[in-house]
Amino acid sequence: MIDLKKQTWFLLLLCGCVVTSLFAKEPSPAPSFRNDVLPVLSKVGCNSGACHGALAGKGGFRLSLRGYDPMSDYFNLTRQALGRRVELSDPGRSLLLTKPTGAVPHKGGVRIDVDSEEYEVIANWLRSGAPAPGEDDAQVVDVEIQPASGVHKKGATVPLKVLAKFDDGTSQDVTRWARFSSADDTVANVDQDGTATIVGHGEGAITAWYSSRIGIARVTSPFPHEVDDSVYEQSGVNNFIDEMVLEKLKQLNLAPSPAADDRVFVRRVFLDTIGVLPTAAEVESYLQDDSAAKKEQLIDSLLARPEFVDYWTYQWSDVLLINGRRLRPKAVEAFYKWVRAHVEANTPWDEFVRQVLMATGGSIENGATNFFALHQDPENMAENASQAFLGLSIGCAKCHNHPLEKWTNDQYYAFANLFARVRGKGWGGDTRNGDGVRTLFIADKGELVQPSRGQPQPPTPLDGEPLSFDYDGDRRGPLAEWLTADTNPYFARSITNRIWAKYFGVGLVERSDDMRLTNPASNEKLLSEAASYLVTNNYDLKKLMRAILLSATYARSSQALPENRDESRFYSRYYPRRLMAEVLLDAMTDVTDVPTEFKKIAFSGADIRDTDFYKDGAKAIQLYDSAVVSYFLQSFGRNDRAITCECQRSDEPSMVQVLHISNGDTLNGKLEAEDNWLGKLLEKSLSDEYLVQAAYERTLARKPTASEWQAIEKAFGDYQPAERRPLFEDLLWGLMSSREFLFNH
């Protein structure tokens, strides 16, 4: 007999199962710890340097900075402290959720709302059993911001979308989990939802960070000027530099300033190319030359002058840190003379760098070996080679993946391991005694152990191919080939940007040695073209300099127009800047004809000793190193060459400088010297008019204006013969303390 009651329950159950199977959703895949959970923790700041991403962590809990080490983070979250941070049977009770939501006390405050997507991602991962990151996880290979570029008016808002591309061919919208920043807050701001707000004029960049990858979008906000097309058409175009600068100026509605007059140009090009003021005769010779090729002839003559060698040897000595506080005197001298010989020979830059990187032998016989005396461990060698020759600061990756760039901790130690077998013998490091003889050689074994892994990384150039551990040659050989290769995306651009900044005062990338991805160029097209020009010309730096000097862009007036006075990055005019300390001191020497005495150099601590390096009459720009004792050079921002960074030099005016010019013994002492230039002229019974004009031409490369003549005549009045010299000393002091003298313009 059939039990109808049981049959009914069976049918109802069967129908329920059928209905459930018809309408049930496919189970969602478990969130990935690597690609879902860690981005959430990064977005809300849990693994930032100010929180648990600090080297020592916080509150006994440590995460890798911005999630660069997923396996370590997984262990610390799920296994450390007896696994108390996760509760898989009841995910909502996990400290991983109760702490950031404020359910239990948390020094970091509330980071996640219980109704947010961030909460759901972590909760779903816990509900799925908190699966570990695996080697087969999809890896992020690129991050892209959409739109990648755009032209917008001030006040506009631009919603940005961030797309992550993975190595399995998939893409994902990760806008919610990306961290945004603006490269120039005067142009655009961006909130953490990815909405950019245009707040000014110019061109800026928005960067998005996701899983150690960076995406960049450019935003352009034209200035509110009306500039007729004829202004650009009538502006001089001498080469590719002018074409690309004018293209950018037109895009931004910026008018180019007219050309500087010949007197200003001559003074400018002398100071920028050889670090010397032109004489009155040199200025007049240029002015009286009516030939169409006079500018080319002037530039070519400057590039061939011995002062060019002095000036650019000094520039590269800054980069290479030739410093008597860290090298013995003979080693300093050898290193300087090695650099000078190559500047004089116009050695191509790639060959110059290759010889530094591959140097071996005695520190006196081969001065380039002293680069490795200054940087004596593989990490320092790697960091300084990268900074000096690529413009890349990789030091942050020594402890963790770089928080703002693509360089990983693994890449850092792989790169540094290229230098692990570079060894030196014979020098104990005491800079005060002995000749500094040291022999650099390559050992046949030795590896740099990566602390976090307890083993070495295969020696590998940044973004290059790894070498095997049993490679039996000098590992620096493949490094030099990779670093100086035409295809290296950093090498030619780095030196091109350095040269550009020396002539224009502002690099296409600013600072001039900060070539990181998140610091884009103000004119990317121009930087790429200029770097290609250098490569095409076999890294001949003089040819790049010549192209810059011949451009109409370089020859523009420094006088701002209403249509360009608010910009400082796009080269609508020449940007005035204070003379570098050494050039300024030499200019004071040249005007007064009173040499500066350089007799002592400073070593570690308070130790100062005489040196016989410098002959009487040596110029500041001829000094071998930055250890020479000089209050003037120190006060006016000399590069101390302590670290490889352009930030070591300063051209910022200060009250100390003002007081030293007013009351110090450098300028005043030179003006008061009995047998100086002024004293010799006064002995010749020359007219006041002649002396005034000579003073102006000697200091400012021009004659006095009518109004200046009027003021001088009034100031001089009816002076007594005994007052003549003090009056002319005051005149010279006034000229040499003026902005027109102190600045190149």
Q: Residue 501 domain-assigned?
A: no
Residue 627: pLDDT band with limits 50, 70, 90? confident
Give the residue, 444 or 611, on which the prediction is more confident. Answer: 444
The verdict on 681 and 727 lying in the same domain is yes
pTM of this structure: 0.88
When pLDDT is averaged across residues 616-626 and rounded to a whole number, the result is: 87
The verdict on 101 and 192 lying in the same domain is no
The verdict on 149 and 66 lying in the same domain is no
pLDDT tens column, 359-383: 999 999 999 999 999 998 999 999 9
Residue 427: pLDDT band with limits 50, 70, 90? low
Please state, in angstroms and rounded to a whole number, the distance separating the CA atoms of residues 338 and 315: 14
Q: Residue 303 domain-assigned?
A: no
The verdict on 200 and 80 lying in the same domain is no
The verdict on 476 and 352 lying in the same domain is yes
pLDDT tens column, 9-45: 333 334 443 333 333 344 467 888 999 998 988 888 8
Share of the chain above pLDDT 90, in %: 64
pLDDT value at residue 428:
45
pLDDT value at residue 16:
42
The verdict on 91 and 153 lying in the same domain is no
Q: Residue 71 domain-assigned?
A: yes
Q: Residue 80 domain-assigned?
A: yes
Q: Tell me the residue type at 140.
A: V
Are 367 and 13 spatial neighbours (Cβ–Cβ below 8 Å)? no
Residue 4: pLDDT band with limits 50, 70, 90? very low
With 50 as the cut, is the pLDDT of residue 593 above it? yes
The CATH number assigned to the domain holding 208 equals: 2.60.40.10
Q: Residue 83 domain-assigned?
A: yes
Q: Residue 588 domain-assigned?
A: no
* Segments forming the whole domain that contains residue 163: 140-221
Question: 167, 195, 221 — which closes off a domain?
Answer: 221
pLDDT value at residue 426:
78
The verdict on 394 and 449 lying in the same domain is yes
Question: 82, 97, 127 — which closes off a domain?
Answer: 127
Q: Residue 470 domain-assigned?
A: yes
The verdict on 103 and 201 lying in the same domain is no
Give the residue, 249 or 6, on which the prediction is more confident. Answer: 249
When pLDDT is averaged across residues 69-82 and rounded to a whole number, the result is: 86
**What is the tally of structural domains in the chain?**
4
pLDDT value at residue 19:
35
Please state, in angstroms and rounded to a whole number, the distance separating the CA atoms of residues 348 and 512: 20
pLDDT tens column, 332-344: 999 999 999 999 9
With 90 as the cut, is the pLDDT of residue 648 above it? no
When pLDDT is averaged across residues 269-275 and rounded to a whole number, the result is: 98
Residue 567: pLDDT band with limits 50, 70, 90? very high
The verdict on 207 and 121 lying in the same domain is no
Q: Residue 81 domain-assigned?
A: yes
Cβ-proximal residues to 108 (8 Å cutoff; 6+ apart), any chain: 45, 46, 51, 58, 99, 100
By three-state DSSP, how is residue 70 classified? Answer: helix
With 80 as the cut, is the pLDDT of residue 278 above it? yes
The verdict on 60 and 144 lying in the same domain is no
pLDDT value at residue 27:
47
pLDDT value at residue 436:
66
Can you give the C-alpha Rg of the chain in angstroms?
A: 32
Question: 463, 483, 503 — which closes off a domain?
Answer: 483
pLDDT tens column, 529-558: 999 999 999 999 999 999 999 999 999 999
pLDDT tens column, 82-113: 788 888 888 889 888 998 998 888 988 999 99
Are 252 and 225 spatial neighbours (Cβ–Cβ below 8 Å)? no
Average pLDDT, the chain: 89
With 90 as the cut, is the pLDDT of residue 720 above it? no
Residue 717: pLDDT band with limits 50, 70, 90? confident
The verdict on 119 and 147 lying in the same domain is no
State the CB neighbour count (10 A cutoff) for residue 615: 9
Are 38 and 44 spatial neighbours (Cβ–Cβ below 8 Å)? no
State the CB neighbour count (10 A cutoff) for residue 353: 21
The verdict on 179 and 111 lying in the same domain is no
